[in-house]
Amino acid sequence: MQIQVYISATLRAFAERKAKVEIEGSTVREVLGRLQDEYPESKKALFEESGALRPFVSVFVNEAPIATDSEYDTALKETDKILLLPIIAGGAPTESVISDERRKEVSLDDAEIERFNKHLMLRDIGVKGQKRIKAAKVLIVGLGSLGSPVVQYLAAAGVGTIGIADFDEVSLGNLQSQVIHGTRDVHRPKTASAKDTIKAINPKIKIEAYNEKLESDNIANIIGEYDVVVDCTDNYKSRYLINDACVLLGKPVVFGAMYQFEGQVSVFDAKSGPCFRCQFPSPPPVGLVPTCSEGGVISPLPGLIGSIQANEVLKLIIGGGETLIGKLLVADTWNLHSSVLNIHKSENCPICGSNPTITEIEDFDYEDFCGLRQTEEETPVEVITAEELVARIERGDTITIVDVREPHERAIHRFPNAIVIPIGQLARRQKELDPDIDTVFICREGKRSILAINTLRDAGYKGPMYSLAGGIESAKNIIFSHEGAWL
């Protein structure tokens, strides 16, 4: 019996870039076993040595999650569909997060009645709902692709206090999808650019700008006064940090994530449903699942996903409506496939389960948890700077350069004379490398090259290996004298 298996965009590198495959099998366990046989590159990346899926991947059958080991042996029907979904990352009608007392403290003047008349006409919003929106305080963390539509739509809707947190500056490459910023904002702090845009939309909004990085020692003070937090970040450390702070402080998080043509949205509220850790107990190894900065994103996708996030925020503020608490919306805009998947609270969750082990944010090592801290037991990965590498190339040193990037990345910036070996093929192709000479691994930002080196170490390769510090981004403006052209 052939079963359709849908593969999330971030995992397709391990399945020959296919969004959907048909695998023979009568149970989920059989299908996953044969998936490994047909696509060998998926075996080490997605599965443990025992054959079980790694913790950062969830399995859904017909939009229902596989929650126990025994469910892997449940008989499948021909019409059943399996979805493999990694972290990137019911809803009954809800009560408003804004109390009646706070609602009654605000009023709408004539200009606001005219500005928000389309809301006032809606029976489910009306005057009471618009007053709740004005009384609300919402924090948006991340002012990039997702933060752009979220900020603008919440400002247009009349949210009274908007907090914006980001420590980055606007770059030219941001403008393709980060529509809150313009050409004149390049090199400005994103918080300053966003503040100008918000004021242009609605000058009456109170704006709190945090031009700083959220860390364990400051996040509680920053989010403490807000009713809803919107996670528009692009890294796992921030996602877990935001989730944990919100669980401990009793705040709902409106989560959004995307990669290439695919997006995810959910509302994590541990008081009435699962938190982020319930669905994704741990992140993938550094470099295994690329971010949107490494894999790219089509420019309209953030508008779609961010708009849904803003819509979820307004439902939480107004009250009523069916939210994405306990649900995960997954949308593949390239293949026109979308699902709303049920997700459940985990009794074993370390922060919102029956016996929590995380009780203070500052006591948890997020760097180590996300694989960002090198332990003393690990052999350090040696790095080489772009300048050092170019000097060695121009001297004519014997050296092997291995490019582990995706094809579309190499089309933008090529590296001269590099051989191409995807990370999933490194172990079986290690004989192509000469252990007597230096091998330098390159990727976009220097993360996947570290994963490549550790992968080869685990496979027993003994030759000297170096990671290009900062990846191709650190070298793209270098000119090789013998080529007379930009890298």
Catalytic residue among 275, 292, 352, 370: 292
Pick the CATH number of 383-486 from 3.30.300.130, 3.40.50.10380, 3.40.250.10, 2.60.40.2140: 3.40.250.10
Mean pLDDT check: name the lowest of 4-18, 64-78, 109-123, 307-321.
4-18
| φ/ψ bin of 51: left (φ > 0), alpha (ψ from -120 to 50), beta (otherwise) | left
Distance between CA 484 and CA 487 in Å, rounded?
9
Which two structure tokens, joined as six digits, stand for 98?
């804004």
Residue 403, strand partner residues: 420, 442
Who's near 369: CB < 8 A, 6+ residues apart?
Answer: 237, 240, 282, 283
Total-model pTM: 0.67
Q: Are 164 and 146 in contact (CB under 8 A)?
A: no
Catalytic residue among 275, 278, 349, 443: 443
Residue 259 has pLDDT above 50, yes or no: yes
| Domain 136-369: assigned CATH number | 3.40.50.720
Average pLDDT, the chain: 84
278 as an active site residue: the answer is no
pLDDT in tens, 391-424: 888 888 999 999 988 776 776 777 778 888 887 7
* Orientation angle between helical segments 300-318 and 147-157, nearest 10 degrees: 40
Cα 71–76–80 angle (5° rounding)? 110
Residue 12 has pLDDT above 60, yes or no: yes
Give the residue-averaged pLDDT of 237-265.
Answer: 92
Check if 2-86 and 383-486 are the same fold.
no
pLDDT in tens, 160-177: 999 999 998 998 888 888
pLDDT in tens, 344-378: 888 889 999 888 888 888 766 666 665 555 444 45
Residue 17 has pLDDT above 90, yes or no: no
Q: Are 230 and 139 in contact (CB under 8 A)?
A: yes
292 as an active site residue: the answer is yes
Residue 231's pLDDT is: 95
Class of residue 74 by CB neighbours under 10 A (exposed 0-12, middle 13-18, buried 19+): middle
Cα 214–218–223 angle (5° rounding)? 80
Residue 105's pLDDT is: 92
Distance between CA 423 and CA 44 in Å, rounded?
11
Residue 149's pLDDT is: 94
Concatenate the DSSP letters of all residues of 21-39 into one string.
EEEE-SBHHHHHHHHHHH-
CA-CA distances (angstroms) from residue 451 to 18, 442, 477?
23, 11, 25
Position 102 confidence tier, pLDDT thresholds 50, 70, 90: very high
Domain 2-86 has CATH 3.10.20.30: yes
Domain coordinates in residue numbering, the chain: 2-86, 136-369, 383-486
Q: Are 313 and 231 in contact (CB under 8 A)?
A: no
Q: How far is CA 126 from the centre of its chain?
A: 35
Concatenate the DSSP letters of all residues of 263-285 into one string.
EEEEEE-TTTS--HHHH-SSPPP
Residue 409's pLDDT is: 72
Distance between CA 254 and CA 229 in Å, rounded?
6
Q: How far is CA 11 from the centre of its chain?
A: 13
Distance between CA 431 and CA 461 in Å, rounded?
9
